[in-house]
Amino acid sequence: MKTYDFKPSVLEIEIKTLGKNKRSTRIFPAAHRTTFFELLFVEDGRGNFKIDFQDVTLGAGDIFVILPNQVCEFDFSDSYQGKMILFTYNFFAISENDASFLYSSEFLSLANPSRTVNTDVNSAKKIFSLLENELQSAKDIYQSTVCQSLLRVLLLQCERKFHQTTKPLTANIAKEFFNLVEKNFTAKRNIDFYVGQMGVSENRLAKEVKSACNLTLKTYINNRLLLEAKRLLRFDTLSAKEIAFNLGFDDTSNFSNWFKKQTGKTPLQFKHKKA
């Protein structure tokens, strides 16, 4: 499976058109991952996408974020029209506050399985239009700041809407745990590591995570590892031995036994099962 980096550019942000009459503009193949953020906005109609084995249907006004390293399968039909913003962490995080927002945002958190908000179509279209016009204008010393400011407004509006419709993860402890797992899940699967890194008691951490996502600490870590295993098995060309090594297992046998215990299937059975 192809992983796409942002193409070399002075500004690490782009807008692409999706949907009606754009079948030839296939930005990415059916299954891919990127090292950057993808913000999808459906202006009209209905589009069906698959993100990390989950079906996501977006209607008019919906904005959905695909996070770096997620496996995405786009809808290239003519059943909808919309826009997509591609941007990197480095482009947005130009200040400590911006970096903190990306870290703490619940709309941008992998812990939330459904990162969709429904916005006013006309209001969202105005922001997309302003951003598109700015990107098409002559470059000057203000362009980057203007583009980042418009993107910030859009993301803050999405965050506000997300909080209005979804129970917020009020505990910073849970958010810190989710981000720490994302960085370390292949190398560190024991709870003691996370408790030690965060400087909190295991009971306190377990309580906050349970409240946030209704999972135990061990289950959350296990689920993240399982998701990565499924991604590599279904969409990559690595051997079982290579996948086991990448995920921190000592040998293929241990990985196979663990995977079958989680899914009821061997890695090979899962790899060749029709989606």
**Per residue of the chain (275 residues), what is the pLDDT tens digit?**
667 777 767 789 999 988 755 544 456 667 888 889 999 999 999 999 988 888 999 999 999 999 988 888 888 787 899 999 999 999 999 888 888 888 788 888 877 767 899 999 999 999 999 999 999 999 999 999 999 999 999 999 999 998 887 766 556 788 889 889 988 999 999 999 999 999 999 999 999 888 878 899 999 999 999 999 999 998 888 888 999 999 999 999 999 999 999 999 999 999 887 55
Q: What is the C-alpha to C-alpha distance for residues 255 and 244, in angstroms, rounded to an integer? A: 6
In CATH, what number does 172-272 get?
1.10.10.60
CB 174 within 8 A of CB 217: no
**268 conformational bin, left if phi > 0, alpha if psi -120 to 50, beta if neither:** alpha
Nearest Cα to Cα of residue 144 among 100, 91, 71: 91
Q: Where are the domain boundaries for CATH 1.10.10.60 in the chain? A: 172-272
Q: Tell me, what's the pLDDT at 167?
A: 65
Q: Tell me, what's the pLDDT at 242?
A: 93
Q: Where are the domain boundaries for CATH 2.60.120.280 in the chain? A: 3-165
Q: Tell me, what's the pLDDT at 24?
A: 41
Quickly tell me which residue has 């105005």 as its tokens: 126
| 176 to 34, 109, 122, 130, 181: CA distances (angstroms) | 23, 11, 35, 34, 9
3-165 belongs to which CATH class? mainly beta
